Amino acid sequence: MRRAIVCCALLLVSASARAEPLEPGSIGMVVAAAGGTGVDFKRLGFGYQIGGQAAWQPTVTERRLGWSAKWSFVFGTMYNAGAASVGDQLLTLQMDMMLGVRIRPGTNPFRYVALRAGGELLRANQVVPPENHRAFAGAVASIGYEQYAYGFLFNLDARVSQIGNGPTIAALMFGAGKTGP
């Protein structure tokens, strides 16, 4: 009889256990190494980007799959750019909004792989051939690794932007954001 009571009590206690929610939001800084791809490598060159990012990705530790929304902006300085007809560098501003999924690859509830896609606006300080425009709108996609630690969300993303429309830029981005509600 005692065993039955103890078993019932354990079942009731374990049934009321809940997953620990992770902080759903983050806001912080991002830095990147970037360059044009294909024929755009000569037009855009290579350089660095620095900016900010914000994300909303409500997740609980018991789930392996969740959704994500991420917004970022980066100011870029591109060296050895053929499009830089005035001065030695091409200056850019990129703003994007992406939606996607986050997948926990193992048992650690604080590590995720993120797959995102969305839209982006690109603005350059000089015209970029062959379209000879300074402003572009197009698609962006990224795959990234995210780690929660010490109240921050650290991420490493590989991103390709202006897919199919405008100059294509590939970037390796490192970000750190303070998490919170």
d(CA 81, CA 46): 7
Give the up-direction half-sphere exposure of residue 150: CA atoms within 13 A in the CB hemisphere. 3
- Tokens found for residue 10: 């354990």
- Tokens found for residue 175: 């970000």
Residue 17 or 66, more confident? 66
Please compute the mean of the pLDDT values over residues 136-149 and round it to a whole number: 96
Strand-strand pairing, 65-79 and 89-103: antiparallel
E strand or H helix that includes residue 174: strand 169-180
pTM value is: 0.84
Sequence spans of domains, the chain: 20-180
Please compute the mean of the pLDDT values over residues 141-163 and round it to a whole number: 95
Instruction: Indicate the pLDDT class of residue 15, thresholds 50, 70 and 90.
Output: very low
How far from each other are the two terminal CA atoms of the chain, in whole angstroms?
A: 47
Could you read off the pLDDT of 87-140 as tens digits, one per residue? 789 999 999 999 999 999 999 999 999 999 999 999 999 998 888 899 999 999
- The whole-number pLDDT of residue 16 equals 46
Q: In whole numbers, what is the pLDDT of the chain averaged over residues? A: 89
Question: pLDDT over 70 for what percent of the chain?
Answer: 90
- The whole-number pLDDT of residue 9 equals 57
CATH placement of domain 20-180: 2.40.160.20
CA-based nearest residue to 54, from 73, 36, 33, 40:
73
